[in-house]
Amino acid sequence: MKDKSVLMLVIVVVAALAAIVAICYVLLFEEEPIIGPAPSMVEKEIIPSPATGNIDDAVDALLKELADENTLLTDEENDVSVLSNDNTEINEFGSSVNEKEL
């Protein structure tokens, strides 16, 4: 009887150690998933027009670059407005629950 209880104790200890080793292996050696940047966080590259030596082409290139920069600024402002709208909705949701009614 004593041999069976000692054997059971050894089996439980070995199983516990194996579980601890498995958990440590998963936590230490498992690669973290690679999460790319959010689509709005990707910087858009502005590619300049090639130089042709013509004044009209230079002015057109500057106007195009200015329009591209304005588009980027508008996108950033839209991101800020989305975040502020989310913040407002979260605050309103928190105040929609009356704890006294529960």
Asked whether 68 and 90 are in contact (CB, 8 A), the reply is no
46 and 75 in a common domain: yes
At residue 81 the predicted structure's pLDDT band, cuts being 50, 70 and 90, is confident
95 and 49 in a common domain: yes
47 and 11 in a common domain: no
Digit-coded pLDDT (tens) for 50-62:
778 888 888 888 8
Q: Residue 7 is part of which domain span?
A: 1-32
Number of domains observed in the structure of the chain = 2
67 and 45 in a common domain: yes
Which residues are within 8 A (CB) of 37 and not within 5 positions of it... i.e. 6 or more apart? Answer: none
Q: pTM for this one?
A: 0.37
49 and 28 in a common domain: no
